[in-house]
Amino acid sequence: MCGTVTAGDEGQRLTVAGWVNHRRDHGGLTFIDLRDHTGVVQLVFNPATSPAAHEIAERCRLEWVLKVDGLVGRRPPGSENPNLPTGEVELTVEGCEVLGQAEAMPMGVSDELAADERVRLQYRYLDLRRPRMQRNLRARHRFIKSLRDVADELGFIEIETPTMIPSTPEGARDFIVPSRMWPGHVWALPQSPQIYKQLCMVGGLDRYFQIARCWRDEDLRADRQFEFTQLDLEMSFVEEDEVFLVLEEMISRAFATAFDIPVSTPWPRLPFSEAMRRFGSDKPDTRFGHELEDVSDIFRASSFRVFRGALDQGGSVQALRVQAGAELTRGELEGEWLQVARTYGAVGLAYMWRRSGVYEGAIAKFLSEEEQEALTARLGLQDGDCVCFTAGRTQVAQTSLGAVRLHAARRFGWIPPKRFDFLWVTEFPLFEADPATGRIGSVHHPFTQPHPDDWDLVRTEPTAVRSRSYDIVCNGVELGSGSLRITNPAQQALIFEALGLSAEEAQRKFGFLMSAFRYGPPPHGGFAAGVDRMVMLGVGESTIREVIAFPKTQSGADPMTGSPTPVAPEQLAEVGLRLAKVLERGGTDHDGREG
RNA sequence: GGCCCCGUGGUGUAGCUGGCCUAACACGCCACCCUGUCAAGGUGGAGAUCGGCGGUUCGAAUCCGCUCGGGGUCGCCA
């Protein structure tokens, strides 16, 4: 291979094949850097050695595919290249064959040559030649292989579950697949193998796992594609500790094997309520401190109307010390920073600077001496600091200031490099109320066990019920979630009731699972972890598109294949469907037609 | 559905307080020169009307509106 030729091969006759990465034509002597995924090696074409090969070297262009054979030799003294692993040697070409020609490239292939992501995706097959993509996808392979190896070692077996399953209205929007044999009926692509893996437990396959492809028809993000890969697993006869142990083992070992990143275990466990209180997030970035502080008690009797008003309405006041934040300008705080807080629903972002022992800023004059002193003591504020506040409904105040905390961390460089802080976030609420309708829904899914102490609250105060669900979070990224499941029909009925599902509805939607649980279900629990996100973290990328060979754009399209494509009426007719109206989408690139 | 950023030759950028832009630079491409380079070098050349449409103006890549496309994000993602 190109990148593996070393001084040890001196005197050897070798054949290598690869792409022309670079060409330096001196008229007579011509150098070509030949590249494959292992690296590059310098080829020397000397008209005196082989006129035929040299003629090809003169003619060939970037990204042509060559096969050459020649003699490995040490480079002349002084002409070694210390920046290259193969820099001590070169291959003097004796024979050369052109295996493939390339037209002028629409984009550069080296990592240094930036290209618009749209162009990269349109020519993804060229983009994949980049060392960065090669590295990412090969690391992804090693990671998945390692997960499988460890799972196998721990007694798990990989079971394939169907990709055409019944559609359920719960959760994310389904991708649906019309059925030809059943006109007017549809299949759905799984959002996860949830139900099937639980049925595996009933089936006595006590340790199931799967590297599972999942689909969710929702808007795309940096860390979300509508087609993604999960490490999905389920275990019988376990409680939290066993599940945690297995995942810590699998993931820490796979990180070490695939990315050479040591991950110590066990991981800290942080209850949801504590995560919200300290970090203003259910996926806290714990690589740095600078935690939120609830300062409601200080302002309980304040004359500052903004704080007092929030407290009187049952909300809270949250504070964040921004160390060395005195350098922040009013424009910055009232522009960018306020925008961050507003995005998460905060009405405003209050702030003060501390300089020469006094507080400055618009709100300082509204705070009493006592309040200021209490703040100074509570937050440890010093000269040169800034302090930011949010006030209002506690959850909004926490999440918006939590977002400000992350913004501040980037602005002031609080985040230490090369750290991977894994943790469990536990005891998520079992239910949440839709703020618009007041309807109760499951936070995780309806089969999640309530915390054993909270059964009584299911009827009386459902939103206060904690669940036996848990997330893995690393560096502020949610990597996956899981729970212990309900297997007792009476308990399950109580949950459905709290969700406002009638017995008939529950039977219709989940009947087969409920039926299964009538025949000796083992207690079980499991987890699903996002493979794309884990690999993203492991290779240091900031979007999962960089670790997926052929991803979609944010608008859910593929510029390379020009898909999705308009459906042909004949295709629809075959499955018994007809369009109500052809909706055209896209401009220059889609030649869809109004119909 | 909302908010924010971006769209100039094949690629990446500059220009964008309107007229010296008949659009500049680098890489790539084409031709020629060059036997030790490695972001090789030299000489010459082709290539964009500035995403699209509309408007303001005597005049727009530069201002405004709409639209298409890319990215980030809130909602959404059991």
Model confidence pLDDT, tens digit, residues A142-180: 999 999 999 999 999 999 999 999 998 778 999 999 999
Model confidence pLDDT, tens digit, residues A541-578: 999 999 999 999 999 999 999 999 888 899 999 999 98
Establish whether the CB of A105 is closer than 7 Å to any nucleic acid atom in strand B: yes
Model confidence pLDDT, tens digit, residues A344-392: 999 999 999 999 999 999 999 999 999 999 999 999 999 999 999 999 9
User: CA-CA-CA-CA torsion for A564, A568, A571, A572, nearest 10 degrees?
Assistant: 90
Report long-range pairs for A363-368 (Cβ below 8 Å, ≥24 apart).
Answer: A363/A304, A363/A306, A363/A389, A366/A302, A366/A303, A366/A304, A366/A305, A367/A302, A367/A304, A368/A302, A368/A303
**Which residues in 455-514 of chain A line strand B, with CB less than 7 A from it?**
none
ipTM for this prediction = 0.92
β-partners of residue A235 are A207, A525
Q: Are the beta carbons of A166 and A185 closer than 8 angstroms?
A: no
Model confidence pLDDT, tens digit, residues A188-198: 999 999 999 99
For residue A579, the model assigns a pLDDT of 84
Confidence of residue A582 (pLDDT cuts 50, 70, 90): low
The separation, in Å, between residue A592 CA and nucleotide B22 C1' comes to 39
Model confidence pLDDT, tens digit, residues A198-245: 999 999 999 999 999 999 999 999 999 999 999 999 999 999 999 999
For residue A585, the model assigns a pLDDT of 53
Residue nearest to nucleotide B40 (CA to C1'): A24
Confidence of residue A583 (pLDDT cuts 50, 70, 90): low
Which nucleotide has the least CA–C1' distance to A542?
Answer: B72
Model confidence pLDDT, tens digit, residues A456-502: 999 999 999 999 999 999 999 999 999 999 999 999 999 999 988 88
For residue A586, the model assigns a pLDDT of 42
Q: Are the beta carbons of A146 and A251 closer than 8 angstroms?
A: no
Cβ neighbours, 10 Å, residue A231: 25
Lowest mean pLDDT among A60-64, A267-271, A274-278, A585-589: A585-589
Model confidence pLDDT, tens digit, residues A559-568: 999 999 888 8
3-state secondary structure A74-143: ECCCCCCCCCCCCCCEEEEEEEEEEEECCCCCCCCCCCCCCCCHHHHHHCHHHHCCCHHHHHHHHHHHHH
Give the burial class of A551: count Cβ atoms within 10 A of its Cβ; 0-12 exposed, 13-18 middle, 19 or more buried: buried
For residue A439, the model assigns a pLDDT of 83
Establish whether the CB of A103 is closer than 7 Å to any nucleic acid atom in strand B: no
DSSP state of A486: P
Which nucleotide has the least CA–C1' distance to A26?
Answer: B34
